[in-house]
Amino acid sequence: MSAAHHHLSVHDLSAPPEPPNRYLFGPGPSMVHPRVYQALSKPIVGHLDPYFIQVMHEVQELLKIAFGSGGGSTLVISGTGSAGMEAAVANFVEPAAKLAVFANGYFSDRLTEMARRQGAEIVRLEKAWGQTFADDEASEFIRREKPKVVAYVHAETSTGALQSGRAICAAAHEAGSLVIADCVTSLGGLPVEFDQTGIDVAYSCTQKGLSCPPGLSPMALSERAMAWLRARTAPARSWYLDLKLIHDYSTVSHRYHHTAPISMFYALREALLMISEEGIENRWERHRSCHQVFVREIEGVGLRMHVSSAHRIPTLNTVLVPGGVDEGRVRKRLLEGPGIEIAGGFGPLAGKIFRIGVMGPLATEDNLQFFLAEFNKALRAEGYSI
């Protein structure tokens, strides 16, 4: 068919969008509550309007609860989680500085690539995708390398593995290093414990544990990180992601830096408000108990988890694909039938795991039972005997 036959006429596009109804049981984006959609539809004001400045301030305060950060600063990057990652790297990893990366999945590789583009000297401690680092090997690596900055992924979306940061942060601070933690999949769904862990720079996203549409990247910075930022002599290479400028706009002088996505801030404020109404500990507990039920039921039908029980992300379950089953066909069946989205693995885990998110509004006993029944049905249809 020639390209001429392919273009849409304006007539084809005259109707408003009618997206299909999906149950988002993937690793993200997660389901959005009607209250958050309602907040998105409110009238916008200017990005320097006193009302918007107030909304930004409220978002920063509510984020402190989710991150578990008292001192330091919280701010929001206008961009998705990857923009938060880039902001962390561009502001704290200077050209020729040594960065130590704990590499055990896709997102530590993305961090590495961003740092490489900044001209950093990178050292990596490598593990198979799905494994985590023990306290002693983490400390030993940092003591040996004496890096300027250390980076690790708290909850690795590509594998379902949860990495404790306590030993990493303790060893890093002993070596005089700053710690960057990727909390994209953990914030809002499980404890980040920013202060208790000793993290200096954490970034996240809005579309996973916070149950908000994608588009913003919340960040938390420790007092040490703020002092480090102020002491920087050369400006960050990225103007848009310069945290000195963003911090000044969002927290100090409110002088124009960029036009923030107003509606997304309304949405994030509402999502965070709903978390504070539920109570953050209650929310963590709800996700944890759903995860326990999920694992029990999955193992009950003879399936196995990819990550050892001590290191699983409660909101993101990685299930091994049983022999003889085509995971792509199982996922297609779920999407085309009940409208359920789950994800497969990629990189070394391509075709080997299902990535199943149980978070936000879907993390209830009823929704879980609905999912499990449909999942088992799809597996049976693809030849798995339960």
Which of 276, 297, 314 is the last residue in one of the domains? 276
Domain that holds residue 356: 20-29+279-381
Please, which pLDDT band fits residue 13 given cuts at 50, 70 and 90?
confident
Please indicate, yes or no, whether residues 262 and 307 belong to a single structural domain of this protein.
Answer: no
Whether 69 has a pLDDT exceeding 90, the answer reads yes
- Residue 69 placed within a domain: yes
Please indicate, yes or no, whether residues 38 and 25 belong to a single structural domain of this protein.
Answer: no
Please indicate, yes or no, whether residues 189 and 107 belong to a single structural domain of this protein.
Answer: yes
pLDDT of residue 275: 98
What's the average model confidence in pLDDT over 241-246? Answer: 98
Please indicate, yes or no, whether residues 300 and 219 belong to a single structural domain of this protein.
Answer: no
How far apart are alpha carbons 78 and 336 in whole angstroms?
34
How far apart are alpha carbons 227 and 218 in whole angstroms?
19
pTM value is 0.96
Please, which pLDDT band fits residue 6 given cuts at 50, 70 and 90?
low
- Residue 297 placed within a domain: yes
Whether 374 has a pLDDT exceeding 70, the answer reads yes
- Residue 386 placed within a domain: no
Please indicate, yes or no, whether residues 260 and 287 belong to a single structural domain of this protein.
Answer: no
Whether 340 has a pLDDT exceeding 60, the answer reads yes
Whether 114 has a pLDDT exceeding 60, the answer reads yes
pLDDT of residue 9: 67
Please indicate, yes or no, whether residues 260 and 324 belong to a single structural domain of this protein.
Answer: no
Please, which pLDDT band fits residue 86 given cuts at 50, 70 and 90?
very high
- Residue 8 placed within a domain: no
Distant-in-sequence, close-in-space partners of 327: CB < 8 Å, separation ≥ 6:
321, 344, 345, 351, 352, 353, 354
What's the average model confidence in pLDDT over 112-136? Answer: 98
What does the DSSP assignment read for 77-129?
EES-HHHHHHHHHHHHS-TT-EEEEEESSHHHHHHHHHHHHTT-EEEEEE--B
318's enclosing H/E stretch is strand 316-320
Please indicate, yes or no, whether residues 241 and 298 belong to a single structural domain of this protein.
Answer: no
- Residue 7 placed within a domain: no
- Residue 62 placed within a domain: yes
Please indicate, yes or no, whether residues 239 and 307 belong to a single structural domain of this protein.
Answer: no
DSSP at 41: T
Between the alpha carbon of residue 286 and those of residues 14, 112, 279, the distances in Å are 43, 34, 11
pLDDT of residue 353: 98
pLDDT of residue 14: 79
Q: List the one residue out of 78, 43, 57, 50 whose CA is nearest residue 263.
A: 43
pLDDT of residue 12: 72
User: Which two three-digit tokens encode residue 329?
Assistant: 């066909």
Per the structure, the count of domains in the chain is 2
Whether 2 has a pLDDT exceeding 60, the answer reads no
Residue 303 φ then ψ, to 5°: -90, 160
CATH classification of the domain holding 79: 3.40.640.10
Whether 59 has a pLDDT exceeding 60, the answer reads yes
Please indicate, yes or no, whether residues 370 and 334 belong to a single structural domain of this protein.
Answer: yes
What's the average model confidence in pLDDT over 2-17? Answer: 69
Please indicate, yes or no, whether residues 261 and 328 belong to a single structural domain of this protein.
Answer: no
Q: List the one residue out of 52, 77, 79 whose CA is nearest residue 269.
A: 52
pLDDT of residue 102: 98
Which of 236, 255, 276 is the last residue in one of the domains? 276
Please indicate, yes or no, whether residues 263 and 336 belong to a single structural domain of this protein.
Answer: no
What's the average model confidence in pLDDT over 359-370? Answer: 98
- Residue 209 placed within a domain: yes
Please indicate, yes or no, whether residues 103 and 250 belong to a single structural domain of this protein.
Answer: yes
Which of 227, 246, 276 is the last residue in one of the domains? 276
How far apart are alpha carbons 116 and 127 in whole angstroms?
20
- Residue 13 placed within a domain: no
CATH classification of the domain holding 313: 3.90.1150.10
